[in-house]
Amino acid sequence: MDTDIDVSVSDATETLEHSLPSLQNRYMLTQVGQQQLVFPSHWVGEILLIERSQILHLPFYDRVLLGLVHHNGSIVPLLAAHLLLLETSKQDGRLRAMKETLTVVRLSPTIDGLASVGIVVDQVVGSLTAEQIAKQRLFQLSDLPSQLWQPRW
């Protein structure tokens, strides 16, 4: 009887090991203005729809940090992807109107330095394989400004 349990546990472990590489090779495609931004699938914890009125704004922090929102018993910092892209590409920084309902890619709690942070995008477009992302902009941790979490006094 114990051997049946051992076999089923090893089968489950083997199945999990085979599914992880496929998740590692998948990417989530999002739209931010006219640009597309890609997140590795294993970085994505969940997709949220947040009402603009729920955001607690933090005026003394970098403008990329839109504010905080309370979600399922935790505080989620929200970063504006369109402002991140402006800073990395040095494009024109015209202000955009914020929609009433925001689409947020909440990063996985396992991501060092950005655990459970929400990235505000315009929309989630779909999923891609590693071969399909050659022309897409891949989100990197280095895209974040170094002073992001520091107050601007």
Mean of pLDDT over the chain: 78
**Of 9-23, 107-121, 139-153, the least confident:** 9-23
* Residue 66 binned pLDDT confidence (cut-offs 50, 70, 90): very high
Residue 45 has pLDDT above 80, yes or no: yes
Q: How would you write the chain as a 3-class SS string? A: CHHHHHHHHHHHHHHHHHHHHHHHCEEEEEEECCEEEEEEHHHEEEEEEEEHHHCECCCCCCCCEEEEEEECCEEEEEEEHHHHHHHHHCCCCCCCCCCCEEEEEEECCCCCCCCCCEEEECEEEEEEEHHHHCCCEECCHHHCCCCCCCCCC
pLDDT value for 4: 45
Which domains are seen in the chain, by residue range?
27-140 (2.40.50.180)
Determine contact, residues 119/105, Cβ cutoff 8 Å. yes
